[in-house]
Amino acid sequence: MRSRDKARLADNGRRNRLPHTVARALAGLFLLTPGGFAGTFAVPAGDLSSWPAILASAGHALSTDATADIYVAPLNAPASADWRAKVRNGAAVVLEGSSPLAASFGFTPGSTSVPTIHIVDEHNSSLPVVWSKAIDLPRYEVPASAHVFAKERWTGAPVEAGYKLGEGAVFWVATDPGANGYERFPYLMQALADLGFGPSFRASRLWAFFDYSYRTRADPDYLAERWRAAGIGALHAASWHFYDADPARDEYLRQLIEACHRHGILVYAWIELPHVSEQFWKAHPEWREKTALLQDAQLDWRKLMNLQNPDCAAAVRAGLRSMMERFDWDGANLAELYFESLEGAANPARFTPMNDGVRAGFRTQSGWDPLELWRQRTDAASLNQFLAYRAGLARRMQEDWLGFAETLRSFRPDLDIVLTHVDDRFDTGMRDAIGADAARVLPLLGTHSFSFLIEDPATVWNLGPQRYREIAKRYAALTPHADKLAIDINIVDRYQDVYPTKQQTGTELFELVHMAASAFSRVALYFENSIPKPDMPLLAAASAVVNSYAVVNYANDKRRIRIDSATDVEVAWTAGGALVDGKPWPLVTKDAVRLPAGAHVVDAAPKCDFISVYDLNATLRSASVYGDRVQFRYSSDSRAIARFDRRPSAMEVDGEAFPASCVKSDGIDSAGCPVLLPRGDHDVTVR
């Protein structure tokens, strides 16, 4: 559960700085090479290194031909004029340690060695990067023209460096990156981007959690533009700050929602019941939840209310309904709707629920008071009896509040609903600890319209990206509605001994996001302000799931892209207009073309004057152009947002006239004309 960790989070993002190309990328969608696009990589035959996982995690696809953009050189590779020619003609070569080839590019080992365990990377120089064990590395000489990205902490010996050569680049690391690719050098992909080899494809479907208390002074438009550039499609805003009406806070949230809609981002009410709000807690001491010590359940930042009390539940419903009416929400997220705490019955000071109603209900069923578990009934059978009762309470509570959320569609018909539930299949102790039992809840997907967002428990944050495939497999076995499953990644300091960084960043974060996006239809990040700034420009690339990608260059600088993607994808494109599968295409911007899932061929075409859809926050199904008419089909569980390069003169949805009303701009026109579209599957025609 997040409640134990939220109070300890450090605002690392404000201290981080962005170098070179990475910083400039926030203003656009892609990191482009000076002479083209870096979309493919090649590794030596039989390669068993972690480089394929590293490169695939952030917008590059494996290539088996001789035209890759990035080549990982074999270990101990001999010097060769062919390698230098590849680089001068526009490729990047990745070198590891010492070899004749590395020496030919100017990276030579000295006669002394440096015990290396703590390095400093310029992309995040204040972040401790500590390896699990020291390695004696030669002190290398690097070319004078090389940019040193990372050094040994105490001696300043270079461990990661690169330089541009001709149209390409040389990138070197002093030793291998580790078995998983992130054990030693967190910011490999940022360094390659700085050398001009950023990603060629990205997606824009991430969710991110947002807490107003960390952003009270930040400009909403600045934040929204930055989030969208990072591939964030929906913001889940901490709604407990806005449960009670307050003119200043309410105005901030209205401005935030408007800014998000302008930039193509949806906004969900993140609801953390049984916590309601600070004011509700103060006003209703009679409804406070109790721990097993019969104390008020004020646990970390959450102050828990007794939702089993009918009067309390009715008051909370009325307050939530009012809040949902006051703001233009796109969705509601019922998050962590169970009990405390991760220590379970081992810590009675944190164990809930022990209010009078729960105790009386259990006593009627069993004949004894659950408080006896910490007195005379210390046997395992008695504890298991109450834990099963408690899990049943949690399930009924979840169904009741899902039903309530669905009633909100009476005035917000396009509202999406999410239930965030901690994983109890990978960590099977969660049911006994907090009452979370996914097997009891998942059948509700057959009778209620919602998404099931699985949250990593803190107990497994030290495990690697591969866990997401296993989590997806275990949950898919429990429901026929696997398309409604989503995963939540907690980007926070971990309490376990983890290396090289306490918090997920760089390659580790990209591998987590990429593996999660490959296994689930939706990936959420907790939370937007904990994402290190150097990672923001590459998150969207990490969330893209591309099966294959190839570029063919023709005479007169014409180019063709062949791509096969499991999901929607945005492909770097600066050739003006585009033909997709031989037909004019309307989803083209100055630096990207948006494609639906599947295999497609993109060719250059003259820029046409029909209206352009340069951003769509929905699943794109198809698109076409007929004269001055642009058509596209989309699917969305919430409202969709289409951003046009101009205001449509006419618009239809499913053949019926639809108002082409641009989201309120307050004089801000950089977002073009964003239009809110209805939830579901729809055909849109614009002129």
Interstrand relation of 201-202 and 485-490 (parallel, antiparallel or unpaired): unpaired
Claim to verify: residue 582 and residue 536 sit in the same structural domain:
no
Residue 566 sits in the same domain as residue 500:
no
Q: What is the percentage of the chain residues whose pLDDT exceeds 90?
A: 88
One domain for residues 229 and 197: no
391 in a structural domain: no
Judge whether 96 lies within some domain: yes
Of 202, 233, 267, the domain-final residue: 202
H-type alpha helices, 408-481: 430-434, 438-441, 467-476
Q: Please check whether residues 15 and 89 belong to one and the same domain.
A: yes
Q: Is the pLDDT of residue 63 over 60?
A: yes
pLDDT of residue 666: 54
pLDDT of residue 8: 35
Residue 9 predicted with pLDDT over 60 = no
Instruction: Let me know if residue 463 belongs to a domain.
Output: yes
53 plus 121 within the same structural domain: yes
Phi-psi region of 178 (alpha: psi -120 to 50; beta: other; left: phi over 0): left
pLDDT by residue (tens digit) across 310-337?
999 999 999 999 999 999 999 999 999 9
**559 pLDDT band (50/70/90 cuts)?**
confident
Residue 166 has pLDDT above 90, yes or no: yes
**Mean pLDDT of the 518-524 span:** 97
CB 225 within 8 A of CB 25: no
Same domain, 574 and 593: yes
> DSSP label at 133?
E
In a domain, 385, yes or no: no
Quick check: 34 pLDDT over 70?
no
pLDDT value, residue 555: 63
Helix (H, G, I), strand (E, B) or coil at 199: coil
Q: Do 585 and 482 have their domain in common?
A: no
Where a domain ends, among 485, 515, 542? 542
Residue 312 within a domain? no
Q: Is there a single domain that holds both residue 415 and residue 275?
A: yes
Count the neighbouring beta carbons within 10 Å of the beta carbon of residue 683. Answer: 14
Whether residues 531 and 554 fall in one domain: no
Long-range contacts of 578-585 (CB under 8 A, 24+ apart): 578/602, 578/603, 578/604, 578/605, 579/603, 579/604, 579/605, 580/623, 583/624, 583/625, 584/608, 584/610, 584/624, 584/625, 585/623, 585/625
Secondary structure of 573-605 in the HEC alphabet?
CCCCEEEECCEECCCECCCEEEECCEEEEEEEE
Q: For residue 261, which phi and psi values (nearest 5 degrees)?
A: -65, -40
For position 228, which CATH number holds? Answer: 3.20.20.80
Mean pLDDT of 41-47: 93
Residue 29 has pLDDT above 80, yes or no: no
More confident residue, 569 or 26: 569
User: Greater confidence, 147 or 32?
Assistant: 147
Q: Would residue 357 count as lying in a domain?
A: no
Q: Looking at 492, 522, 542, which one is the last position of a domain?
A: 542
Classify residue 671: in a domain, yes or no.
yes
The verdict on 434 and 525 lying in the same domain is: yes
pLDDT band at 4 (very low <50, low <70, confident <90, very high): very low
Q: What is the pLDDT of residues 106-156, one digit of tens each?
A: 999 999 999 999 999 999 999 999 999 999 999 999 999 999 999 999 999
Number of domains in the chain: 3
The parent domain of residue 60 ranges over 2-202
Comparing CA positions, the residue from 341, 269, 332 lying closest to residue 302 is: 341
Q: Check whether residue 64 and residue 158 sit in a common domain.
A: yes
Residue 646: pLDDT over 60: yes
Does 7 score more than 60 pLDDT?
Answer: no
- For residue 435, is it within any domain? yes
Co-location of 97 and 191 in the same domain: yes
User: Residues 72, 77, 79, 82: is their CA dihedral positive or negative?
Assistant: negative
